[in-house]
Amino acid sequence: MSDNNRKNEGNEHGGLSRRGFLKGVAVAGGVAAIGGINGIPSVRASEPVVLRLLGTGVTHYKEIADQAKKDLGITIEFTTLNSDDALKRAITQPSSFDLLDTEYFALKKIIPSGNLRGMDVKRIKHYEDIVSIFTTGKFNGRMVSPQGTAPFEVSYLDGEFGRKFSAKPTEWMTVVPTVYNADTLGIRPDLVPRPVSSWADLLSPDFKGKTAIINVPSVGIMDAAMAIEAMGKIHYRDKGNMTRGEIDKTIDILTAAKKQGQFRAFWKDFNESVNLMASGEVVLQSMWSPAVSKVREMGIPCKYQALKEGYRGWGIGLGIPSHVKGKTLDAAYEFINWYLSGWAGAFLSRQGYYTAVPETTKQFMSPDEWGYWMDGKPAIGSILSPTGQKVGAPGSIRDGGSFDQRMGAVACWNTVMDEDRYLVRRWNDFVSA
Amino acid sequence: MSQPEQNSALPEAGTRRRGSGYHWSTPSASRIAPYLQVAPISAVFLFFFLIPVILVIVISFFNYQTYDILIPDFTLMNYQDVFSSSVTYKTYWTTVKLSFIVWAVTLVLGFTISYFLVFHVRSRSRQVVLLLLCTIPFWTSDEIRMISWIPLLGRDGVVNNFLLATGIVKQPVEWLLYSQFAVVLGYVHLYTVFMIVPIFNSMMRIDKSLVEAAVDAGAKGWQVVLNVVLPLSKSGLAIGSIFVISIVMGDFVTVNVLGGGQVASIGKEIVTDLSSLQFPPAAAESMVLLAFVIMLIAALVKIVDIRKEL
């Protein structure tokens, strides 16, 4: 209410205009309404439960929190940080949140701290239906690429409060997957003079001064490795876990490219990548699927180009910190079960992400949406983003095709390497060179 | 280190004189009074500056691993990494170069603008309004500034379109954005105000009769500026310089945004380490930077005795 009071005071000082008065009334009404909603006891919990969710913002949509409130009576408070800061918080201040959404590669740093508890798979309702990429590491009967931090390698713990990963599925899961995707290069088809078909084009002189790279070592090095391997300059034993020699060679090639003016910019933040692309400063760069959608929503052509070497995969999951117990723990499980039950999955699928339990997601999407996003079929009507903007015209096909085509072609995963410390030092050299 | 804080505790010479009068009248209270006066700022200083800095020093000697971010130890490895890397020296060179350019530009701009405000703008209220206008760059967030430079300096921006239309250039000028030029522009745009305020402050105290006397004695306009105004603004120039140099040396936001992430800076190197949870090397680099900036400021204070000038 104090905000409301302040607002009215402000109006008195400035003279009570009609508009200001109306605004004051609206604010008063809004505050009253919120107060009212909070006052109503929720259906399931005897008193309102609040879950503080820390994460990177990939899945932090107000709509999801609102729907969870409606369906479960649980209030979700998002703390949204960039992936580096979220990880830092997860390790240094675990008691500041009740749920964590984290990238799979970051688990290699979080689990040894003991800050996450294993999640009992028996309490996860749709556990059996979770896409096998995360449980057995198989996709359509084939093992997924082990290069980088493949999610199944870090999906299980050796005990409820274990600090070690289990190579085989156990009853304790580190995190329950929420979204994942296959990333590739985004291009501006109107500004790219020739077809782009390989990761090598990221370093091709044809696009000199018009490419960008992400300045997060765990991700940027994988994009660079895909490009360098495609050029045939280095054959990595495992590009997701390079040796010092391989890191050195990779950084040398990148530094040389930088000095020749190959890159227009390095970016770290989702919005930066959108701006670079939308303004045409950059015509080819590694992008995230919603960033491509966002550029398109502005009416600017942008293509998420499938490449012959395959995709860089990543995944995010929800985990529960060790300190959570009792009613909050129950609520956390309840929220995660709700997450897998379809509504949230459908919402996030419309952003271009994939969800952990496609069966439930399908029930919340129209056949046309499902056909476009998952089956790679041409759209019948317009395809809309969750916020109602058009991202695909009738007849258009999702870049890269179907779920099976895209996830089946993941060649490596975002990663934390054994030589992480050395990599970060050398990455710094590259950025400063 | 205690100098600036004492200065801020005693903003006017007049206050000090009045205080010393009180000092003589009650000698017993006088011994405690100054200590009580500095106690609050000292406490703040101790808890929010000294203790954190000591912690950073301690951590700079720690060891670390990917899975164990702080291992208590006494190792010089982090400092060895800093000093053995040629990148460190290159980065310092770039940062010092940028700081110097920004310092020189903001100094000239700050002096000129303050001179205009003090000696050409007659009304006090207009002076204040104009001074407040200098803070406009701070009215927007980093995000907004980041976006709004693109339509101005970008490949397809206003400046490039103008240059192309007038035939001055045939190809869009690439170095306007995401370059050292852009970084310097951004710094000047933001930090000139830190130069203006202290210089304005010292110029306001110049006794106008000194200027009149100089003119009466036959000094020309430029001679008045050079021999009267400039020497009497020295403390403002020095304080402004300290602000600008220390901010630019430690910056990692502007350089990242306008350098397109490609221009090196020490602050950015520290941030990259922190982002990767490599706290000990970040601590070591911070200590080296702190020592470097302290030396710079010490040299500056040596040239201009700020306390005497105030």
pLDDT in tens, A360-390: 999 999 999 999 999 999 999 999 988 888 8
Where residue A42 falls among pLDDT bands split at 50, 70, 90? Answer: very low
Superfamily of domain B85-309: MetI-like (1.10.3720.10)
Tell me if chain A has a CB within 8 Å of the CB of B277: yes
Instruction: Please indicate whether, in this complex, the C-beta atoms of A275 and B178 are within 8 angstroms of each other.
Output: no
Chain B residues with CB-CB distance to A273 below 8 A: none
Domain spans, chain A: 2-39, 49-174+313-340, 182-309+409-432
Q: Which two tokens stand for residue B156?
A: 């397809």
Asked if the domains at A49-174+313-340 and A182-309+409-432 fall in one CATH topology, the answer is yes
Residue B16 has pLDDT above 70, yes or no: no
Residue A153, min C-alpha distance to chain B (Å): 16
Pick B140 or A397 by higher pLDDT: A397
pLDDT of residue B301: 87
Q: What is the mean pLDDT of chain A?
A: 87
User: Contact, A426 vs A419, CB < 8 A?
Assistant: no
Domain segments of chain B as ranges:
1-59, 85-309
Q: How far is CA A286 from the centre of its chain?
A: 14
Q: Nearest CA to A387 among A350, A355, A356, A359?
A: A350
* Per-residue confidence band for A392, with pLDDT thresholds at 50, 70 and 90: confident
In this prediction, residue A123 carries a pLDDT of 95
The more confident residue out of A137 and A48 is A137
Confidence check: pLDDT of A293 > 70: yes
pLDDT (0 to 100) of residue B26: 59
| Sole residue written with tokens 């522009």 | B185
At residue B2, the pLDDT reads 40
Q: What is the mean pLDDT of residues A23-38?
A: 44
pLDDT at position A46, please? 56
For the ranges A36-45, A367-376, A390-399, the lowest mean pLDDT is seen at A36-45
Q: What is the pLDDT of residues A106-145, one digit of tens each?
A: 999 899 989 999 999 999 999 999 999 999 999 998 999 9
As a whole number, mean pLDDT of residues A85-109 equals: 92
Whether B278 sits inside 8 A of A421 (CB atoms) is: yes
Produce one character per residue of B101-139: b if its CB has 16 or more CB atoms within 10 Å, e if not: bbbebbbebbbebbbebbeeeeeeeebeebbeebeeeee
> For the domain A49-174+313-340, what is the CATH code?
3.40.190.10
What pLDDT, on a 0 to 100 scale, did the predictor assign at position A26?
46
- Is the domain A182-309+409-432 a CATH 3.30.1330.10 member? no
> Which member of A87, A265, A427 has the closest CB to residue B260?
A265
Of A263, A418, A428, nearest to B269 by CB-CB distance is: A428
CB B106 within 8 A of CB B192: yes
Residue-wise pLDDT for B253-305, tens only, equals: 888 888 888 888 999 889 888 887 889 999 999 999 999 999 999 998 888 87
Separation of alpha carbons A185 and A399, rounded Å: 11
Q: Which amino acid is at A88?
A: K
| pLDDT bucket at B6, cuts 50 / 70 / 90 | very low
Chain B residue numbers touching A85 (CB-CB < 8 A): 275
What mean pLDDT comes out for the span B170-184? 91
Asked if the Cβ–Cβ distance from A215 to B261 is below 8 Å, we say yes
pLDDT for the residue numbered B249: 94
Q: What is the pLDDT of residue A272?
A: 87
A149: chain B residues, CB-CB within 8 Å: none
Residue A80 neighbours by CB under 8 Å, 6+ apart: A55, A56, A57, A60
Helix (H) or strand (E) holding A187: strand A176-187
Calculate mean pLDDT across residues B54-58. Answer: 95
Helix H or strand E encompassing B65: strand B63-65
Do B66 and A421 count as a contact with CB atoms less than 8 A apart?
Answer: yes
Lowest model confidence (mean pLDDT) among A31-45, A252-266, B118-132: A31-45
CA–CA distances in Å: residue A384 to residues A186, A292, A365, B268, B309: 20, 14, 12, 39, 67
Question: Is the pLDDT at A69 greater than 60, yes or no?
Answer: yes
B111: closest CA of chain A, how far (Å) = 33
pLDDT of residue B8: 43
The 10s digit of each residue's pLDDT in B60-98 is: 999 887 666 788 889 999 999 889 988 889 899 999 999
Question: Among the listed ranges A246-255, A335-344, A378-387, which one has the minimum average pLDDT value?
Answer: A378-387
- pLDDT for A399 equals 92
Mean per-residue pLDDT of chain B:
86
How many degrees, rounded to 5, is the angle at CA B173 between CA B171 and CA B177? 150
Examine the pLDDT at A48 and tell me if it is beyond 90. Answer: no
Q: Which residue of B has its CA nearest to A270?
A: B143
- pLDDT given at position A36: 40
Sign for the pseudo-dihedral over CA of B161, B162, B167, B169? negative
> Which of A179-188, A352-361, B14-23 has the lowest average pLDDT?
B14-23
Chain B residues whose CB is inside 8 A of the A432 CB are: 87, 90-91, 94, 264, 268-269
Write the ipTM.
0.71
Q: How far apart are CA B309 and CA B304, in angstroms?
A: 8
Question: Model confidence over B146-173: pLDDT tens digits?
Answer: 778 888 999 889 999 999 999 999 988 9
Residue B306, pLDDT > 80, answer no
Strand-pair category, A211-214 with A284-287: parallel
Confidence band of A340 (pLDDT split at 50, 70, 90): very high
Q: Is the pLDDT of residue A2 over 60?
A: no
